[in-house]
Amino acid sequence: MIDTTDPRGSEALVDIGKSGIAVLPFYHVADGSNAPYGHRIKGSLSRMWCRESLLPMLLSANETLAAFKCELVVYDAYRSIATQNGIWAWALDKTKTDHPNLSQLDLEALTSQYSSDPRRFNPTDATTWPTHATGASIDVMLRSLVTGETLDMGAAFDDLSPVAQTDYLEQQLGRNLISYNDAALIHRRILYWAMIGAGFANYSGEYWHFDFGNQMYVLSTSAQNAPLDRAWYGYCVPPE
């Protein structure tokens, strides 16, 4: 549900990169380095945009991360429906390759755990809005302030396997399969708590995905027994 009376819902999209936060428009990369895609996704944007209220939250997270000598790199934020179509098609094809014996319905259900299905998109129907089309979803990785290198998170961005789940390495630790000082485990904890401390909610299926004020945010916080039942950010059109 969307609270259409909340004034935050009319916030404009702002350019994240202009705030000093590092950005890497992952789906717009054209040199083949954006594995697993290896090409520019149709409709992708060259700049990263989000709702205005999210900027101070991202800056707050960066202040926390500075103590650990790292910073955020935004890989994706506002995402057009055209881009979502391209990502969904790629993800569905990969799921078919990885699980050749699944029915089409099961393939689509599995794919939807990692990518919003845009095929039913209707700008007047809130149940069809991909979460990134609200401008209130952020995909982030960590980068060292010392070396400038992306930190080891145990799984690459947009990995479509259980390894991408936020608590996967915690489960591995609980089974004594990794040590308590495993680098990727520590980096995931740092990212998670910096973003949660800034006010975001994490989507448990992807350690890199965080939300604020949209329907995914409501679902994620409801799982934590928070008394929130309505989002205030809904679908918004691409920036001009």
Provide the percentage of residues in the chain whose pLDDT is more than 70.
98
pLDDT of residue 240: 73
What does pLDDT average to over the chain?
Answer: 93
The full set of domains in the chain, from first to last, is: 7-222 (3.30.1380.10)
> Tens digit of pLDDT for each residue in 60-119?
999 999 999 999 999 999 999 999 999 999 889 989 999 999 999 999 999 988 788 898
pLDDT of residue 121: 93
pLDDT of residue 239: 85
Residue among 137, 154, 141 at smallest CA distance from 192: 141
pLDDT at 30 over 90: yes
d(CA 204, CA 48): 23
> Tens digit of pLDDT for each residue in 108-154?
999 988 788 898 899 999 999 999 999 999 999 999 999 999 999 99
- Of residues 221 and 168, the one with the higher pLDDT is 168
